[in-house]
Structures are given as C-alpha cells and as structure tokens.
Amino acid sequence: MNEQQQRDGAKKGLIAKFLALAGPYWRSEEKWMAWTLLLAIVVLNVAMVYCNVWLNQWNGDFFNALQQRDWNSFQSLIGEFAALAFSFIACAVLMSYLTSALNLRWRRWLTDFYLGQWLDGRAYCLLELKSYGTDNPDQRIAEDLKAFAATSLNLGFDLIRNLTTLACFIGILWHLSGPLALSLFGWQASVSGYLVWAALGYALLGSGLMHVLGRKLSRINMEGERREADFRYAAVRLREHAQAVALSGGEEFERKALNRRFQDICANWRQMIAAEWRLTGARSAYSQHAVIFPMLACAPRYFAGKLALGGLMQVISAFGHVQEALSWMVNAYEGLASWKANIERLASFQAATARARHELAHSRIARSESEGDDIRLCKLAVSLPDGQPLLKNLDLHASGGERIVLKGASGSGKSTLLQVLAGIWPWGEGHAALPAKKMMFLPQRPYLPLGTLREAISYPAAADAFSLAEQAFVLTRCRLAHLTPQLDDYGNWSARLSPGEQQRLALARALLHKPSWLLLDEATSALDPHNQRHCYQQLRSELPDCAVISVSHRPEVDAYHDRVWRIDG
C-alpha cells in the first residue's frame, strides 16, 4: 500500500470501509456456508414479517368480532392466534440460533484474518516502533472484531426486516387510510393514503431530530474506546512490572497516573451521558406521540361511522408498523454511532498494518543470501523511523563460526544494527548479505510465553519438539537444574524467575535450537561474572560451530570473542 493508496483509503466513505472490512469473509473459503446461513436468516425475517401481516388482519377480524359479540368467530380467532403465535416464536428462536452461529463463524474468521494481518510481515513489531495512526491493536482484535460482526448482523437484519415490513404494510395502510378531504379558503383537495404521508413525515422529522442531537456520538464513542484501552493497558503494565514498582515505592505515582487516565474516561463519560440523555428524551417523546398520532388521524373517520372498531385497530397496527419501519434510523441511531466508530477503528488498524508490512517489505536496505555462512554489510546506513541518521558507511564482514563483540556508547546504534540483521528494522539503505542458515536473537529481556516451562524453553517451537531429557540437559548446562522438576508446571515465568534466571533460560533455549548464528543484545547483563563466563563457555563447548555477535558494555565479555566491532555513531 503506497502513500497515495493510504490517502485514498482514508477518504473512503463509511459504506466503502465497511465493504472493505466485511468483503473478504463473504468471498472466503467459508462463503457457501456464510451465504446459506444469511439466506436462511433473511427468509426467517420475511416469515416473521408475514406473521405480523397475518396478525394485522387478525386484529381487524378479532375486534370486529368483539364489537359484534360474535362468540363463534371469537373462538375461531383464538385458535388462529395460537397458530400465529407458535409460528412467530418458532421463527424467532430459529433465527436467533442461526444469527448466533453466523456471528460466531464470522468473528472466528475475522480474528484469524486480522491476527494474520498483524503478525504477518512482522507488522506488530513496527507498530510498536513507529506511529502509524492506530492504537491498542489487542483491543482492535479482541473487542472491535467481536462488536463489528455482532453489530453488523444485528443492524443489517433489522434493516432488512424493516424494509420488508415497509413493503408489506405500506400498501395495507394506503388501502385502509382512504382519501382525506381538505378544504382551505374555498380550495378543495383530496389526499389519497394520507396516513402513509403522515407516517413518512413523522419519521423524517424524528430522524432529522435524532441526527441533530446525536451527530457527535460516534466521535465520543471512538474517543471513549481509546481512553478505556489506554487505562487498561496502563493497569496491565503495572501488573507486569509489579516487582519493580514495589521496589521503587512507586505506588502513589502509579495511583495518580491511573487516576489521571480514569479522569479522562470520566470526562468522556460525561460527554456520552449528555449526548445519550438528549437522544433518550427525543426517542421517548417520539415513541409516545407515535402511540396517539394514528388514533388522532383516524378519529374523524371513526366517529363519522366510516371506520369500524376492527378497521380502526387494523389501521393503528398498520400505521405502527409503517412508522416503525420508517423510523429505523431513530431506533438504531446509537447502535449506528457505535458501529461507525467501530468501523473507523478497524479501518485505521487495517491501514496501519498494511503500511507497516509495506514499509518492511520495501525497505531500502537490500537483503540477499550470502555465499557460504558469512555476513556482509556494504555501504549500510541506518536511520531512526523519523529519518534521523543513526549509522552510516558500514562495510563489515563476519565469517561463519566467528565470535564478535559489538562495542560502543549507549544510543550509538548497536542494538539497532542487530535488528537490521534480524530483518525487523527497515529504515536505512545499503546492502546486507545474510546467511541462509538459522539465526537466533537473544534480547536483554527474553520473552517467556505464558504456559508450561517446557513451552517457555522450547519457544518458538512446540513444547514436544524436544524431549524431556534434552530440555533437562540444557537446563543443567545453564545451572538451572533446580527448575527441571517444574518443566510441566504452568505459570507466568517472566514473573516467577529472576532476570538472571530468565537470561540463562534464554541461553538454554539457544542450546536446544542450535542456531548457526546467535545475536546477543546484552543477553548476559543480569548475570554475575562467574555465571556469565560459564554461559559463554557452554556456548563454545555445546555450539562450537555457531557464530556469535554480542552487544555488551562489560570489558570482560571481550575475552569470550575473537574480535571487536566498535561503533562510534
């Protein structure tokens, strides 16, 4: 996605954005089941509308039977109502089940699709390094996709039901309305189907009023979601760094920071409350007047004897259905505002991941496969995401099996150079020829996934990719033998293990995977000199052919390497 495509995407209307988000599922491998469920639900919607048409006719016959005190007709109509009620309930229950099934299938597919969008091409990594106009990707995937599928189906089926209702009842209301004679200053006119025009005018008035009162609701909703996500993320970070906060005595600072974020939520809530009470008041007034409006409109004909009681009730019922169908926007306004905000958030997330993947795939740092097992950097320049130069004129060569320590001042670009080698830093230019053999990167703070210790030590491979004996062996080699009995224990190992234990566990992981190249970014910074020396000795003895590039500020690390690369910036 180039810059022009991104700008065009931002200018898309709401419906175009919705189709871009929803379209892939309805063209996917699940399309036949999806369209079958959709068609079945639409048929059930139409059947429920037919039940309402049937009920409208039943109303007329029932109240006429009451007015005429016709006992036989009354009994027959009670039986007819039972059949009508059973049909309506059966359709409603089946439609609810099929809608839930379609919702689940759609959300499952969307989640898998957007996880791919986020993870493929390492877009998730670039989203943390540079702002692409989106926030809280976890919320986009976990909550917005759920709301998108459910709200789209609910609003869509509600719209279909209302359009079908309008198509069925507008003719009935037109027929039942009869003509209305108007006389003004000697001018005579007759308005056919006047109740249809009355319902249309009433609905347009209500829809316009709702739009005027609630036009800011979508923006308020979107901002509220962002603030809620920021508050939740801050609380999660506090939990992840609980020990560091406790050791620093930072509870009061964290309390104030969380309270500030919650005050932002409260401020948004106040805006939401103000918008919602105006909408609630307008909707309530609209609904209450809709009850009496058709009676007032029909009163002249009824009291003139031109309309029986059953006919009056039938007209009121038909008017109610037409008015409700025309008032879809009034009744669904808050849902539409939430749906619009939901689409905008997902569209921005989709655009951001596309931009990140495009930037990584079209980096000006040309990458190729080197001959043999060497690394060659030619005229390499590295910059920050904002374009500020960081490294330039790098011409470096490292042979397979060689051990190099990377030295330089903090902030000079050592870790960034390793990220270029790992293929996750696209900003810069030049050429990097890299080996086809397996490279492994060990950061200062290793990632330990939630799960068993076997999963943590085997990551990113599956836990059963290595035997228990192999895993126990590497733990022993890294002086973590005391963890062997816990290999099948489930836990948050980032919290349970000390930083030094975590770094030794990462080194044990490297011994399991046996890479050809190992890139260590301050990977032994939490170890004492004795354990640090032991770990480097294990790398040399267990992985004698593995090439190592280490970033370190410790002078004693130099002794475990063959030569030094020094970066001056």
pLDDT in tens, 360-393: 888 888 888 887 788 898 999 999 888 888 888 8
- Distance between CA atoms of 258 and 230, rounded to whole angstroms? 10
**What is the per-residue pLDDT for 243?**
61
Q: Which of 11-15, 268-272, 336-340, 427-431 has the highest mean pLDDT?
A: 427-431
Among 9-13, 289-293, 450-454, the range scoring the smallest mean pLDDT is 9-13
Better-predicted residue by pLDDT, 362 or 204: 362
For residue 394, what are the domain limits? 364-569
pTM over 0.75: no
Per-residue pLDDT band at 182 (split at 50, 70, 90): low
Please report whether residue 396 resides in a domain: yes
**Residue 470's closest CA among 486, 458, 452, 480?**
458
- Number of domains, the chain: 2
Buried b / exposed e along 98-123 (16+ C-beta atoms within 10 A): bbeebbebbbebbeebbeebbeebbb
- Distance between CA atoms of 319 and 306, rounded to whole angstroms? 18
Please report whether residue 184 resides in a domain: no
Do residues 398 and 423 both lie within one domain? yes
Q: What is the mean pLDDT of the chain?
A: 82
Do residues 431 and 315 both lie within one domain? no
Torsion sign, CA atoms 288, 290, 296, 298: negative
Instruction: Determine phi and psi for 430, rounding to 5 degrees.
Output: 120, -160
Do residues 493 and 460 both lie within one domain? yes
User: Measured at the alpha carbon of residue 351, what is the angle toward residues 382 and 221, in degrees to the nearest 5?
Assistant: 125
The letter for the amino acid at 476 is T
Please report whether residue 185 resides in a domain: no
Do residues 399 and 321 both lie within one domain? no
- Distance between CA atoms of 357 and 122, rounded to whole angstroms? 7
Do residues 426 and 554 both lie within one domain? yes
Do residues 460 and 345 both lie within one domain? no
Query: Are the C-beta atoms of residues 398 and 549 closer than 8 Å to each other?
Result: yes
Do residues 87 and 226 both lie within one domain? yes
* Last residue in a domain, options 360, 381, 408: 360
Q: How many CA atoms does the CB half-sphere of 100 hold within 13 Å?
A: 6
Do residues 170 and 52 both lie within one domain? yes
Per-residue pLDDT band at 214 (split at 50, 70, 90): low
Query: Are the C-beta atoms of residues 38 and 103 closer than 8 Å to each other?
Result: no
Q: What is the mean pLDDT of residues 56-68?
A: 74
**What is the per-residue pLDDT for 1?**
43
Domain of residue 506, CATH code: 3.40.50.300
Do residues 500 and 538 both lie within one domain? yes
* Last residue in a domain, options 360, 375, 409: 360
Query: Are the C-beta atoms of residues 255 and 190 closer than 8 Å to each other?
Result: no
**What is the per-residue pLDDT for 438?**
84
Tens digits of per-residue pLDDT, 403-427?
A: 999 988 888 888 889 888 888 888 9
Do residues 63 and 174 both lie within one domain? yes
* pLDDT at residue 169 is higher than 90: no
Domain of residue 241, CATH code: 1.20.1560.10
Do residues 378 and 234 both lie within one domain? no
* Last residue in a domain, options 360, 389, 409: 360
Do residues 148 and 276 both lie within one domain? yes
Assign 193 to helix, strand or coil: coil
Q: What is the mean pLDDT of residues 476-497?
A: 90
